[in-house]
Amino acid sequence: MVELKVWEVPKTEKYPDGVKYSLYCLETETKMVLVGIDNHHPKGHHIHFGYEEQVYFFEDVEKLIEDFYALVRVRVYCL
């Protein structure tokens, strides 16, 4: 299951880029996160691979979506 949510929000201390997002690819039966990228406060931009997290370097929404699908292709097709 894949879900992409991207909102334009006012630029604030919490969201200095003026965007809030949540992009996830879950394994349907177990709901295990295969790939997730989000920027909720206070963590900021980060990637989920199952229970692991890494920093994500946000550039813009177009690159975010490209990066997400590239990670999904690698992660899902290599399992």
Q: What is the pLDDT of residue 76?
A: 80
In the chain, domain spans? 2-77
Residues 1-34 as b/e (b if ≥16 CB within 10 A, e otherwise) read eeeeeeeeeeeeeebebebbbebbbeeeeeeebb
What single DSSP character describes residue 41?
T
pLDDT band at 20 (very low <50, low <70, confident <90, very high): very high
Is residue 75's pLDDT more than 90? Answer: no
Over the chain, what is the mean pLDDT? 94
Is residue 79's pLDDT more than 80? Answer: no
State the virtual CA torsion across 11, 14, 17, 21 in degrees, nearest 10: -110
